[in-house]
Amino acid sequence: MKKKLLVVFTFAMVASLSFFAFKNQARTSAANVSKFKAGNIISDAVMGDYGSMSISEIQSFLKSKNSCNNTNVWISSGNLTSSLDMSGTMNWHVENGHFVCMADESFDGESAAQIIWQAAQDYKINPKVLIVLLQKEQGLVTDTRPRSGQYRAATGYGCPDTAACDSKYYGFKNQVRRAAGLFHTVLTGGWSNYTVGNNYVQYHPNSACGGTNVYIENRATASLYRYTPYQPNSASLSSGYGMGDGCSSYGNRNFWLYFTDWFGSTQYSVPFTENDLDKGTFNNKTVYIQSKMSDDYAIDVSGGSKNNGANIQLFEANISTAQQFKFEYDSSNYTYAIKNVNSNKVLDAAGGTTHNGTNIQQYEQNNTCAQRWYLVKDGSYYKIASSCLGRKVIDLSAGNVANGTNIHLYEINNTDAQSWKLVDPTVVKKRIQANQKNDQISTSQVYTLRSAVDSGHTIDVSAGASDNGTNIQLYQSNNTDAQKFTFEKNSDNTYTIKNRNSDKVLDVSGGVMDNGTNIQQYEQNNTCAQKWHVTKENGYYKIASACNDKYVLDLSAGIAKDGANIQLYRSNDTPAQRWQLRS
């Protein structure tokens, strides 16, 4: 049977700013403390990276820092207990001849790793931030014999410099979640006594020690000052993890040192090489942001709204300023703000979150990472990556090219739905005006019929055959005559669509008006099965049977691949039923 031993000390705990700062820790650091920046201790992006560690990764990290095998239990008074006693400040948990440390402790059936991870997810705070907080406040990560008093005030929440800790905040889980909640509040624009901008920050609780004005650059740093309202003085910084002088404080210094030594930079590292990023080519330029999937569509502010929170969508290119965006470059971090010309508001990741599906909206400019974007080169196109994490990019929902399709964030997957072309407004306007003049189909022109699902695939006569009944399919564009068609205008304003190679026409097999009826080629017989109503909608053509215009040319299953069947299907306005006519 396992025995649990309660060990009690009777001496008074020393109260000071530095008590836990120097307890049970290595005194050396790989971090270059000269790079500590009081106004930018940690970036919003890093503090908000709540997906940076899984539960198992947190547990592995805690064990890597502390094997939890301190067997120096000779200090024991011999008192026994069945569980960790949280009532006192000087109680230890001993089991099987060694002290139980935080990584192996259970808190009402939950591990420290589970509690840290869940708080990180619920409050969208980097679990690494919470791990570091537990260390800099109570040394709990590395302490090989932590006391119950350290757990009950684990993150120092509700423990002011001038009074005892407030008992209503006691408890490991309560402490972790309260701290995560405070950071989340400030990170998402809630109250802080230290706001973004110039603030006077003291070196020490003793005001006689002085301080300086600090320009706080971001909300994450503001949240650290709300938590620990002092900056390190020169003596504190010059001593690394050590002690400075009587006016030194260590909380924010140690936070930066631990994070840097354990996890790397407190500033998010862009997952692209510097050569991948555009560096100001579009500074102060106004452009349309057009989808690689169709240059007939562009990113658009819904309804031309000027309101905060107005949705960003895809829409057929038009000459309105709701589709024109000015790019403003910041050379210090290679990012752009993308400002709509009509509203003077910028593209913004709603709520400052970066999970898959985070909506893109417009919002008044506040220069948070939710409004800063990397332009990542992608051939003649660009990916537009969030500076909050850099792993998520602006994406066309479901790759659906249609008016009103939502624009959101999504992890990089290298599909065309994530590639965008930045086009000068004069070029777009000229094309729009030309299209408006040439909406009528030319009977003297030869066309390919490209799918709206993938413009690289076009309607094709299988194997280039000339026989009656040869199947009509989709195939990668190859410029053969099997993919070229002419449109003959009939007296009833319908069109007959004739293949240039076979001189046969598109035909509804058996003239049957039903979902899935096959489309074939057949010699011309002037029945309604060979006549089509052709109308242009939102930059694409719908090709409806003259027998029943509720049925249209359709790409089977909406999947663009070689050999995909072309069929008749009831009109449903999906991309599978929209076609580009390219000459």
The one-digit pLDDT tens for each residue of the chain (583 residues) are 322 333 332 222 222 343 344 444 444 567 889 899 999 999 887 898 888 899 999 999 999 999 999 988 765 444 433 334 444 445 889 888 889 999 999 999 999 999 999 999 999 999 999 999 999 999 999 999 999 999 999 999 999 877 889 999 999 999 999 999 999 999 888 899 999 899 999 999 999 999 999 999 889 999 999 999 999 999 999 999 999 999 999 999 999 999 999 998 898 655 577 789 999 999 999 999 999 988 888 999 999 999 999 999 999 888 899 999 999 999 888 899 999 999 999 999 998 777 778 999 999 999 888 899 999 998 899 999 998 765 689 999 988 888 889 999 987 887 889 999 999 999 988 877 765 555 568 888 899 999 988 878 999 999 999 999 999 999 988 889 999 999 999 988 899 999 999 999 999 999 999 999 999 999 999 999 999 999 887 778 999 999 998 999 999 999 999 999 999 999 998 999 999 888 8
- DSSP H or E segment with residue 235: helix 234-238
- 280 shares a domain with 258: no
User: Cα 115 to chain center, whole Å?
Assistant: 24
Last residue of one domain, picked from the residues 211, 236, 263:
263
**Is 432 inside any structural domain?**
no
Instruction: Give the global pTM.
Output: 0.52
Cα angle at 556 between 552 and 562, to 5 degrees? 120
CA distance 459 to 576: 12
Gap between the Cα atoms of 421 and 146, Å rounded:
57
Asked, for residue 268, whether it belongs to a domain, the answer is: no
Question: Considering the domain boundaries, does residue 269 fall inside one?
Answer: no
**Co-location of 85 and 142 in the same domain:** yes
Structural domain ending residue among the three candidates 263, 292, 324: 263
- Examine the domain organization and report whether 251 and 285 are in the same domain: no
Q: Is residue 433 part of a domain?
A: no
Domain range spanning residue 462? Answer: 439-582
CB distance 136 to 253 below 8 Å: no
| Structural domain count of the chain | 3
Q: Given 379, 405, 427, which residue is the final one in a domain?
A: 427
Q: Are residues 231 and 306 in the same domain?
A: no
Q: Are residues 150 and 8 in the same domain?
A: yes
Same domain for 499 and 396: no
CA atoms within 13 A on the CB side of 324: 15
Residue 310 lies in a domain: yes
Give the containing element (helix H, strand E) for 285. Answer: strand 285-291
If asked whether residues 255 and 290 sit together in one domain, one would say no
CATH code for the domain in which residue 378 is found: 2.80.10.50
